[in-house]
Structure 1
């Protein structure tokens, strides 16, 4: 995996996504409509952003772009909607079924493995890299 990214940069990107995209979205829905966590619309928007933005933006989310990292397939190609469905939705189902233990295992995998791949990377055939679009063979 060329220029794969470890735990701290990936965590930083997730925190930035939360602060820039999801926290304001939650506040908007909660203050204007009183929905907050009790309504599925903010969650649906969150899922759509996490699924579609990397497909349209060369593997970047807002947080990943700010951290200079992106999601790619193991062959270096850009991710498509099928890849992101596997990476995000199937992995979240697995993490839910394991009551969060899968998330902890994934965090250790990213921190310990040489290729820094997590469970959801293996499910989807992806990894996170510092390489910009067009730099991977």
Structure 2
């Protein structure tokens, strides 16, 4: 990345949090309703299963590669994941970002990496979390 890069393009903490919350509502509430209709139970233990984790990580990893850096929440909020070098997102880039940089790093650090990343996105000039640094990505606002 060169010094001429326009950091105003980078999406900050609140818009990224909004996108994550929207994804949660749009993806998880319908699943919970389907689960309730099938079982008659409002239990959310299904979210603690390896199947749910695998499906969620697959969504967060594969959809941005196929959909130009977007997942549903990011599309609604007008932000998307981009590579710092300007190239197209690849499956390897997204595995580094989502699986290694977010999921596994969070597990190994007992969530501390998530707090550090939130501070970096909220207060840093580049608005990039640890997962972005690992993968060479950032989250861009569409109006730039």
TM-score category (smaller protein): 0.7 to 0.9
- Measured in 2, the distance between the counterparts of 1:118 and 1:83 equals 15
2:74 maps to 1:73: no
Give the deviation of 1:26 after TM superposition. Answer: 4.0
| C-alpha distance after superposition, 1:3-43 (max 9, x if no partner) | 00100000000000000013322443465257623533222
Is 1:103 aligned to 2:114, yes or no? yes
- Judged with a 3 Å threshold, the aligned counterparts in structure 2 of structure 1 residues 29 and 39 are, in CA distance, closer, same or farther, namely farther
Segments of structure 2 that go 5 or more residues without pairing to the other structure are none
Who is 1:117 aligned against?
A: 128
Of stretches 25-34 and 15-24 in structure 1, the one that deviates more from structure 2 is 25-34
Mapped partners of 1:44, 1:32: distance in 2? 21
Q: 1:76 to 1:41 in 2, by over 3 A?
A: same
The aligned length equals: 133
Shift of 1:44: 1.9
Give the equivalent residue in structure 1 for 2:55.
45
**Per-residue deviation, 1:79:** 1.1
Q: Distance in 2 between matches of 1:115 and 1:80?
A: 22
Moved over 6 A (4+): none
Alignment of 1:1-137 (within 5 A): 1-2=5-6, 3-29=9-35, 31-32=37-38, 36-91=46-101, 92-131=103-142
So what's the TM-score if we normalise by structure 2?
Answer: 0.83
In structure 2, the residue corresponding to 1:44 is in which secondary structure?
helix
Moved more, 73-82 or 107-116: 73-82
Q: Which moved more, 1:49-58 or 1:25-34?
A: 25-34
1:129 counterpart SS class: strand
Structure of larger gyration radius: 2
